[in-house]
């Protein structure tokens, strides 16, 4: 899916993120809050305040931005 290599870093945006944000909103968080360049080829992870919503990832693959969400295992969610 992604061409992640050994030099790829994963950055986590600490604090709560409004996961309704689109590409531009998440791009702005990476640029302004993290002080990083989205087009660096690194992976950026965002979560909401309660950590119950699917985390979102932002990744530049060289031709455009990917914005992906991962749903956590249903059994894990039922126990929370």
What pLDDT score was predicted for residue 73? 66
What pLDDT score was predicted for residue 76? 55
Distance CA 50, CA 6 (A): 31
**What is the mean pLDDT for each group of 10 consecutive residues in the chain (80 residues)?**
79 87 90 93 87 81 86 60
pTM of full prediction above 0.85: no
């Amino acid at each position: 899916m992604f061409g992640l290599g050994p030099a790829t870093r994963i950055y986590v945006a600490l604090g709560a993120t409004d996961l309704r944000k689109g590409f531009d909103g998440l791009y702005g968080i990476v640029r302004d809050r993290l002080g990083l360049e989205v087009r660096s080829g690194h992976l950026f992870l965002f979560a909401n305040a309660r950590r119950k919503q699917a985390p979102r990832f932002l990744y530049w693959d060289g031709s455009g931005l990917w914005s992906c969400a991962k749903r956590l295992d249903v059994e894990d969610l039922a126990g929370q």
